[in-house]
Amino acid sequence: MKKKYENNLDTEKSSNGVLSVKNLTKRFGTNVVLDNISLTIEDGKTTVIIGPSGCGKTVLVKHLIALLRPNSGEVYFKKHRIDNLSENELNNIRTHYGFLFQGGALFDSLNVTENIIFPIRQHCKITDWKEVEELVKSKLAMVGLDGFQQFYPSNLSGGQQKRVALARAIALNPEIILYDEPTTGLDPIRSDVINELVLKLQKELGVTSVVVTHDMNSAYKIADRIIMLHNGKIIADGNADHIRNHPHPVVQQFISGQVSEEDLAVLRMRGNISHTQFLPRDFE
Amino acid sequence: MIGIVGAKAISGVGNMGRFSRFIWQSMVASLRSCSKTHTYSLIWTQMYFIGVHSVPVVMITGAFVGMTLAVQTYGQLAGMGLEEYLGSLINIAVVKELGPVLTAVMLAGRIGGALTAELGTMNVTEQIDAIRSMGTDPVKYLVAPRILACLLLTPVLIIFADLLGILGGYLVSVVHLGINSRAYWLHSANAVEKWDVFIGIIKGLFFGVAIAVISCYKGFTCKEGAQGVGKACTEAFVASFISILALDFALVVIFKAIYDTFWPLRSMV
Ligand SMILES: Nc1ncnc2c1ncn2[C@@H]1O[C@H](COP(=O)(O)OP(=O)(O)OP(=O)(O)O)[C@@H](O)[C@H]1O
Ligand SMILES: [Mg+2]
């Protein structure tokens, strides 16, 4: 199955560094989101990106597949520079990727099966529908949703949508999978199943994964390497132990999930919450 | 002040550039998908949405146009004793101008709005990015089938509107106003040439493409949120409406020139 749905890109396979970014800067208006970031993602490894909400994790992974273009800097896929390619040239390269969007981004006019076979349909001529059905079934079973084939996305819960999106991202057996918060919105057990899935794909198919997450348990479990973003910079980079024992106070605060003194001060300043409550009109 | 005008001008030129690029890409994609049989199913689906459900409204539009024209012009022609020429007047107006233009305006509201809202929602929920992330060109997948469906169906819908317009005009003139049926058709047949019907339908091709391209472009570039989608729909309708009128004017001028040059030659062939 894998062979059949694979696209050839004539490149010499480098031993490491399937993806890399060099001096990447991204601004939206005056808001500098990524500030001169350089990063190499190794082949067959799972790299986890953590960082506070709004620090630019999604923006960074979108650059890795050239859905966003940098203001300055370069992005490489297997030594090919991709950030300056046209959309047409990118289409071939993007078949090597699976991308799980933070919001799922399922096609709401297509049902679950049609969503999952979308990438297959676009790139291969389907001759054997039985085989495709089997594939859909197995991918859905991996995310625990076999039996939901005919559902439309609007009839699924948020977590279910996320998992269907994950099944779609792995449909073409890509070499690189970018997960944007795969476990957000899932219960702890289901999250762990997703963790195992990431590990399994890495072990059995040698997939290179980049996982954005807020879930430190998941990060420790799946990561070969953890990168922390803060204010547009990489402030920590290393394996799980390195991060656990990182001296940087922001890192320690993030991984232990502690509120900073400044944030607490803001909450205290407001005083007793009930004082500021607005009473209903007909209160008296 | 100068800065504001300058910034507006620059962004205006930028938008024009992006829109031209979009037109070019979608034309190329549409032409390509003509030769690929597997895209036909996408086109069929769109044709069903666009075509079948538009038939009733378009027919109603046509019928009322014909009927209103009959009532409006009867008084003036009857005053000169020319009421038998009513048929030629109504049918020329319906076939050449009112049928095509009003059908197109109707479609701009009905289809254009739906296309913009659909693509706009897909845009803000990242579904278009999802298509890109899977290595498919969203213009090819989303825009080309819609353009082709509009291109093929607008002329057909115009024919429906024309037919009902003619029928409506006939009924009011003959049944209600009591004009001789034979005279009515005789004068109509003398006045309306095949050429008139032909350009009415050709206009439809242009209007259909204009509606589809503008609506899809507005959907693709719409801003975040429910308000963004709503605004894009309004802009798409206004832009389509003005383009229809402008295109109509341009086409009339061009076709008149062609007609004057070539139509007299037809007897020689
Ligand atoms: N299309 C855009 N236009 C303008 N600003 C944007 C856009 N996309 C992202 N941003 C800005 O970039 C910053 C980072 O956004 P991003 O979505 O990458 O955050 P994140 O780290 O993924 O956060 P979260 O964990 O909440 O998903 C935010 O401040 C946001 O305002
Ligand atoms: Mg994010």
pLDDT digits (tens, 9 = 90+) for B26-69: 888 888 887 777 778 888 888 888 888 889 999 999 999 999 98
State the ligand closest to the CA atom of A254: 1
Boundary of a domain, candidates A117, A143, A173 = A173
Beta bridge partner(s), residue A210 = A47, A178
Nearest chain B residue to A91 by CA distance is B135
* Residue A246: closest CA among A231, A262, A230: A230
Instruction: Specify if A4 maps to a domain.
Output: no
Instruction: Specify if B262 maps to a domain.
Output: no
| Residue B130 pLDDT level (bands cut at 50, 70, 90) | very high
Both tokens of A248, joined, read 């940087």
| pLDDT exceeds cutoff 90 at B175 | no
Contact A91 B141 (CB under 8 A): no
Contact A108 B127 (CB under 8 A): yes
Contact A119 B135 (CB under 8 A): yes
Counting atoms of ligand 1 from 1, which one is nearest the CA of A51?
A: 21
CB-based contact, B137 to chain A, within 8 Å:
yes
Which of the residue ranges A274-283, B8-17, B75-84 would you say has the lowest mean pLDDT?
A: A274-283
- What is the rounded CA–CA span in Å between residue A161 and residue A154? 9
Both tokens of A33, joined, read 């989101």
* Residue A104: closest CA among A152, A47, A64: A152
CB-based contact, B7 to chain A, within 8 Å:
no
Instruction: Specify if A277 maps to a domain.
Output: no
Say yes or no: A126 and A188 in one domain: no
The whole-number average pLDDT for the span B169-189 is 86
Both tokens of B122, joined, read 């897909």
Give buried/exposed letters for A26-41 (b at 16+ CB in 10 A, else e). Answer: beeeeeebbbebebeb
Contact B134 A118 (CB under 8 A): yes
Residues having C-beta closer than 5 Å to ion ligand 2: A 58, 102
Contact B127 A65 (CB under 8 A): no
CB-based contact, B37 to chain A, within 8 Å:
no
**Residue-by-residue DSSP string for B187-218:** HHHHH--HHHHHHHHHHHHHHHHHHHHHHHHH
Q: What is the pLDDT along chain A (284 residues), one digit of tens a residue?
A: 334 444 444 344 444 678 999 999 999 988 999 999 999 998 889 999 999 988 999 999 999 999 999 999 999 998 889 988 888 889 889 999 999 999 889 999 999 999 999 988 888 877 788 888 999 999 999 888 888 989 999 999 888 998 999 999 998 889 999 999 998 888 888 888 889 888 988 888 889 999 999 888 899 999 999 999 998 899 989 888 888 888 888 888 888 887 877 778 887 776 565 655 666 677 55
Instruction: Specify if B10 maps to a domain.
Output: no
Question: Tell me, what's the pLDDT at A176?
Answer: 93
Interface test with A, best of B32, B134, B142 (most A CBs within 10 A): B134
- How many independent structural domains does chain A possess? 2
Both tokens of B58, joined, read 């378009």
| pLDDT exceeds cutoff 80 at B149 | yes
Say yes or no: A239 and A195 in one domain: yes
SS3 B36: coil
**Going by CA atoms, what residue is nearest to atom 2 of ligand 1?**
A28
- How many independent structural domains does chain B possess? 1
Q: How many A from CA of B83 to the centre of ligand 1?
A: 70
Element (H, E) at A50: strand A46-50
Instruction: Specify if A3 maps to a domain.
Output: no
- What is the rounded CA–CA span in Å between residue B41 and residue B148? 12
Instruction: Specify if B40 maps to a domain.
Output: yes
Say yes or no: A69 and A204 in one domain: yes
Say yes or no: A34 and A137 in one domain: no
Question: Tell me, what's the pLDDT at B237?
Answer: 93
**Angle, vertex CA B128, rays to CA B123 and CA B133, nearest 5:** 145
- What is the rounded CA–CA span in Å between residue B48 and residue B34? 18
Say yes or no: A261 and A136 in one domain: no
State the ligand closest to the CA atom of A56: 1
Query: Which residue range is the domain that position B122 belongs to?
Result: 25-251
> What phi, psi does A101 have (nearest 5°)?
-75, 150
CB-based contact, B125 to chain A, within 8 Å:
yes
**Residue-by-residue DSSP string for A192-261:** HHHHHHHHHHHHHH--EEEEE-S-HHHHHHH-SEEEEEETTEEEEEE-HHHHHT---HHHHHHHHTPPPH
Both tokens of B231, joined, read 């605004």
Boundary of a domain, candidates A127, A156, A173 = A173
- Residue A53 class from Cβ within 10 Å (0-12 exposed, 13-18 middle, 19+ buried)? exposed
Say yes or no: A195 and A59 in one domain: yes
Say yes or no: A265 and A125 in one domain: no
Both tokens of A189, joined, read 């057990």
Query: Which residue range is the domain that position A163 belongs to?
Result: 105-173
Instruction: Specify if B3 maps to a domain.
Output: no
Instruction: Specify if B269 maps to a domain.
Output: no
β-pairing, A176-180 vs A97-100, is parallel
- What is the rounded CA–CA span in Å between residue B30 and residue A39? 40
- What distance in Å separates residue B202's CA from the closest CA in chain A? 33
- What distance in Å separates residue A137's CA from the closest CA in chain B? 20
CB pairs under 8 A between A and B: 54
**Going by CA atoms, what residue is nearest to atom 7 of ligand 1?**
A28
- Name the pTM for this structure: 0.85
Residue partners of A180: CB distance under 8 A and separation at least 6:
A57, A58, A61, A99, A100, A101, A102, A212
The whole-number average pLDDT for the span B183-201 is 86
- What distance in Å separates residue B125's CA from the closest CA in chain A? 6
Say yes or no: A26 and A135 in one domain: no
Instruction: Specify if B51 maps to a domain.
Output: yes
* Residue A26: closest CA among A68, A77, A75: A68
Contact A65 B135 (CB under 8 A): no
Boundary of a domain, candidates A146, A173, A200 = A173
The identity of residue A127, as a single letter, is T
Instruction: Specify if A5 maps to a domain.
Output: no
Say yes or no: A92 and A189 in one domain: yes
> What phi, psi does B113 have (nearest 5°)?
-60, -45
Question: Tell me, what's the pLDDT at A257?
Answer: 82
| pLDDT exceeds cutoff 90 at B212 | yes
Question: Tell me, what's the pLDDT at A264?
Answer: 80
Question: Tell me, what's the pLDDT at B5?
Answer: 87
SS3 A75: strand
Residue partners of B190: CB distance under 8 A and separation at least 6:
B88
Q: How many helices (H) and strands (E) does chain B have?
A: 12, 0
Interface test with B, best of A6, A59, A85, A94 (most B CBs within 10 A): A94
Instruction: Specify if B99 maps to a domain.
Output: yes
Say yes or no: A41 and A121 in one domain: no
Contact A123 B135 (CB under 8 A): yes
Instruction: Specify if B264 maps to a domain.
Output: no
Q: How many A from CA of B43 to the centre of ligand 2?
A: 35
Say yes or no: A35 and A112 in one domain: no
C-alpha neighbours within 13 Å on the C-beta side of residue B233: 17
CB-based contact, A88 to chain B, within 8 Å:
yes
Average pLDDT, chain B: 88
Say yes or no: A181 and A261 in one domain: yes
Nearest chain B residue to A121 by CA distance is B38
Question: Tell me, what's the pLDDT at A14?
Answer: 40
